Amino acid sequence: MQTELSMPASIRGNTSAYMDWVQMLTGAALIVFMWCHMLLVASVNLGTGVFDALAAFLEYTYMAQIGGPMIGVVFLVHFALAIRKIPVTSVQQKGMWNQARMLRHKDTWLWVVQAVTAMIILVMAGVHLWAILTNLPITTAKSAQRIQEGGWFWFYLVLLPMAELHVGIGFYRIGVKWGFVGRRGRKRFQMLEYAITGAFLAIGLVTLFTFATVSL
Sorted by where each starts, the structural domains of the chain and their CATH numbers stand as: 14-213 (1.20.1300.10)
pTM: 0.79
Q: In Å, how far are 41, 119, 170 from 122, measured between CA atoms? A: 21, 5, 15
Among 23-32, 55-64, 78-87, 132-141, the least confident range: 78-87
Residue 159 · residue 121 · CB < 8 Å: yes
- Going by the annotation, the residues of the binding site are 37, 78, 128, 166
pLDDT digits (tens, 9 = 90+) for 120-147: 888 898 888 888 878 888 889 999 999 9
Half-sphere exposure of 175 (CA within 13 A, CB side): 21
162-209 pLDDT per residue, tens: 999 999 988 888 888 887 887 788 888 888 989 999 999 999 999 999
Residue ranges of the binding site for heme b: 37, 78, 128, 166
The continuous run of DSSP H or E covering 68 comes out as helix 63-82
* φ, ψ (nearest 5 deg) of residue 24: -65, -45
Residue from 14, 13, 124, 39 nearest 79 by CA: 124
* Whole-number Å distance between alpha carbons of 46 and 210: 10
* Residues, the chain: 216
Q: Per residue in 96-120, pLDDT tens?
A: 666 656 656 566 777 778 888 888 8
Cα separation, 173 vs 18, in Å, equals 18
Instruction: Please report, as a single letter, which amino acid is at residue 109.
Output: W
Instruction: Give the whole-angstrom CA distance, residue 1 versus residue 47.
Output: 58
